[in-house]
Amino acid sequence: MAKKQTQKRRNIKITKRTAAAIFIILTLAITYLPLPITWDDIYAAAGFKLPKGNLNLLDLSIIFIDVGQGDSILIHTDSTNILIDTGPEGNAQNIKSVLNQLEINKLNYLIITHQHDDHMGSLEQLRRLIPIDNEIIPTENTKMSGMTQTFNDITLEFLGPIYLSDNLNNMSLVIKLTYKNKTFLFMADAESEEEANLIRQYNENLKADVIKVGHHGSDSSSSLDFLTLVQPEYAVISVGKDNDYGHPHQATLNALQQVGAKVYRTDRDGTIVCTTDGEKIVFHRLE
């Protein structure tokens, strides 16, 4: 009986603590946010969601477009626009509306990382919507490792694939972008086997400020050894809400937490804008 009462008291205590936490979050939200306040604003104030942005873009912006379960990433400066992947079928209009918001009327480069539908399903539709100057579309025999392409101040270095593989995910183009003091690593769907190859070939050169997490946060990618070398400050997972694969896997989220990365996800944040002047990096959601 006495035990039951203690338990009851503890439950009341926890409820009181939760109420206090909600009260503090609401007070902070009301104090710091302009009216009218939405639940989105409250989630953002509590650190659950990225704050909205007003397209205050710095020199280089990397926009992780919400294409559901797939990848589509725009690299944007005043002079250069490069799209990595198009997401699954049915996303061309979605990508076009992001390009319209940024007043982009042609792509200098379109890079497809590998020939899976969730990365190139909207390619045909997108070609009909926007002029594309150059396309890089690898086949199952393309080894891009060691190639470098420079666009004004931006350098794209193709790190992988180093070897041919029967697993198309491990034939993903792995791209490192450098702008002044900041580096970004785009893993596409490269899995642990490819990560091990990259470690052997590049070691501490894998260090990056931001990582586009491999294979939508699957536990077949993002080995702790690899993430420890990359040491990302920020990690972006491009993943569909309630997807059939259970991505991102808890093991991946744990590994990212272990290396101290702050994680953003398209299933929660929608289209994510990462913008930098080469010194600082700022994230916000695209509305």
Reading across the β-sheet that carries 262-265, which strands appear in turn? 148-151, 154-160, 174-179, 182-186, 210-212, 234-237, 262-265
41 touches Zn ion (CB under 5 A): no
Least Å from the CB of residue 166 to Zn ion: 17
In angstroms, the first-to-last Cα distance of the chain is 55
Contacts of 143 (CB under 8 A, 6+ apart): 161, 162, 163, 164
**Residue nearer to Zn ion on the CB measure, 189 or 195:** 189
118 touches Zn ion (CB under 5 A): yes
Least Å from the CB of residue 137 to Zn ion: 15
Q: Which of 196, 243, 194 is nearest to 217 (CA)?
A: 243
Least Å from the CB of residue 201 to Zn ion: 23
**Residue nearer to Zn ion on the CB measure, 189 or 219:** 189
**Residue nearer to Zn ion on the CB measure, 218 or 275:** 218
Per-residue mark of binding to Zn ion, 136-165 (x: CB under 5 A) = ------------------------------
> What is the rounded distance in angstroms from the CA atom of residue 20 to the CA atom of residue 53?
29
Of 140-148, 182-190, 220-228, 257-265, the segment contacting Zn ion by CB under 5 A is: 182-190
Of 20-28, 31-39, 48-56, 189-197, the segment contacting Zn ion by CB under 5 A is: 189-197
**Residue nearer to Zn ion on the CB measure, 70 or 232:** 70
**Residue nearer to Zn ion on the CB measure, 72 or 183:** 72
189 touches Zn ion (CB under 5 A): yes
* Contacting Zn ion within 87-116 (CB under 5 A): none
**Residue nearer to Zn ion on the CB measure, 265 or 284:** 265
Q: State both tokens at 127.
A: 């070609």
Burial class for 13, CB neighbours closer than 10 Å (0-12, 13-18, 19+):
exposed
**Residue nearer to Zn ion on the CB measure, 113 or 275:** 113
Cβ count near 58 (within 10 Å): 16
Of 118-126, 147-155, 248-256, 268-276, the segment contacting Zn ion by CB under 5 A is: 118-126
Give the alpha-carbon dihedral of 176, 199, 160, 238, to 10 degrees.
-60
Answer positive or negative: Cα dihedral of 235, 212, 282, 180. positive
What stretches of 112-187 show up as alpha helix (H) in DSSP? 117-120, 123-129
Of 93-101, 143-151, 186-194, 218-226, the segment contacting Zn ion by CB under 5 A is: 186-194
Total residues contacting Zn ion by CB under 5 A comes to: 2
Pairing of the two strands 148-151 and 154-160? antiparallel
- Name the residues that contact Zn ion, by CB under 5 A: 118, 189
